[in-house]
Amino acid sequence: MSRGVLGRLSLRLAHEVLHRAEPVMGRLVHPQRLPWLGRLPAMPEVGSLRSPARPWAPVVGEAPGELRTQPGIGRLPDDEDRAARERPLHSFFALHADAVAVVSGHLWPALVSVAPRLVRSTQALVASRAEPVGARVEEDPAALSAALRSEATALGISAVGVTAYDPRYQFAEFRTGDEVGDRVIVCILEQNHDATRRIPSERSEQAALSTYAQLQDRLVGLTRWLHARGYTARAENYIGESMFIPYAVAAGLGQLGLNGQLLTPHAGSRCRINVIHTDAPLPFDEPVDYGLEGVCDRCQACVRRCPVGAIPAQRREHRGIVKAKLNTKRCLPIVTQAAGCSVCMKVCPVQAYGLPAVLEEYERSGEILGTHTDALEGYDWPLDGRHYPPGEKPHVPAAIVRPAGYAFDPDRVDPPSGHPVLG
């Protein structure tokens, strides 16, 4: 969306003021200090911070044949197993702790405003892990699955899927040997649409963090529901002890987009993901070919519109997964210094209009809905206060792409010694 001249001026002035406050305020959001923010009053969960508390309806119909690829995502199982053995996954926050420490202070406006709720929701989630488990009553798995989904709907969770626990997706820092159960319940909560239209902005970044907090609150409720039925259950926190996206794809909730994010048929990547590990005998869901990869290949809006060209147009094999490997070295500094950036989310037609509308337009005209239009691909840039329509992108100075003290090694496979485990 375009804010108009005065709106863009306000966007730029706000960015300048907040940027100048970073040396002082940035210290508050150091991971060791965040728990203290949980004692402060929380910003009211209203307007563009509130997530829609409605379940997503099932997707009806199939994608046109030329858009189909494979259920879920392209995988090379032997290469995937080899990568897991030879190069175990590590948490990004542990692997790149030095780079994260440099750029995290730039996120202070969103973190300070939302941290009280986020910290308290995390504390409640962690506490729920130790709550007592009731006496188990044997239930038919199909009936249990239906009851679980009904409870998730009542709690306001947008979508739920179930898949098998896979140690290949768990970060090495959290492999303790006491994992809970052999099933993973993947939960998704939709992010506010109006806030997402304002990307990039502090409001949209606040909405993203607020959605994580709201989802964690709902996971506490679902964990307690499982405990009451006699099943063990352990929810991860929003930082994550494992990779959420592969679980979501395996559970049939979406496919991997060129932007490196989970694309759901209902909201694209305008959602937040978390998981619950459990021993409840829930039937597994299956990966689905929604035609999303085919849409991505023909759309390429995120590739064109990324301010720093961090998104490749072609998929290649990486750790046994066929995907577009983002240039995180260029992406991370922009995300943290340009109000969360997320231009790749904003310009995605599936996020903006939903997959059914995109497929309907494709079948009618052979075109991807909204591409090359300012309504979808235009955005206001907080660093200079200008509006950039299709075909134009902001100039990003080297000082932004490579901030002072920022050293990011994309090939690092082991975290620096002595780094504490997060979460």
Give residue-wise pLDDT tens across range 186-238: 999 999 999 999 999 988 999 999 999 999 999 999 999 999 999 999 999 99
pLDDT digits (tens, 9 = 90+) for 142-173: 999 999 999 999 999 999 999 999 999 999 98
pLDDT band at 2 (very low <50, low <70, confident <90, very high): low
422 has pLDDT over 60? no
Burial of 345 (0-12, 13-18, 19+ CB in 10 A): buried
Give backbone dihedrals phi and psi of 390, rounded to 5 degrees, phi first: -55, 140
Burial of 398 (0-12, 13-18, 19+ CB in 10 A): exposed
Residue 418: CB partners within 8 Å, gap ≥ 6?
Answer: none
Burial 6-15 (b: 16+ CB within 10 A, else e): eebeebbebb
pLDDT band at 12 (very low <50, low <70, confident <90, very high): confident
421 has pLDDT over 70? no
Q: What pLDDT was estimated at residue 31?
A: 63
Q: What pLDDT was estimated at residue 46?
A: 66
- Tell me how far apart the 2 most distant CA atoms of the chain are, in Å: 63
Residue 64: CB partners within 8 Å, gap ≥ 6?
Answer: 291, 294, 359, 362, 363
**Alpha carbons 284 and 172: distance in angstroms, whole number:** 25
Q: What pLDDT was estimated at residue 347?
A: 98
| Residues 347 and 379: beta-carbon distance below 8 Å | yes
* Token pair recorded at residue 1: 């969306």
Indicate yes or no: pTM above 0.75. Answer: yes
CA proximity to 416, closest of 55, 95, 23: 95
**Alpha carbons 351 and 345: distance in angstroms, whole number:** 7
pLDDT digits (tens, 9 = 90+) for 288-345: 999 999 999 999 999 999 999 999 999 999 999 999 999 998 999 899 889 899 999 9
pLDDT digits (tens, 9 = 90+) for 345-382: 999 999 999 999 999 999 999 999 999 999 999 999 99
> Where are the domains positioned within the chain?
4-401
Give the DSSP letter string of 6-33.
Answer: HHHHHHHHHHHHHHHTHHHHGGGGSTTT
Q: What pLDDT was estimated at residue 200?
A: 94
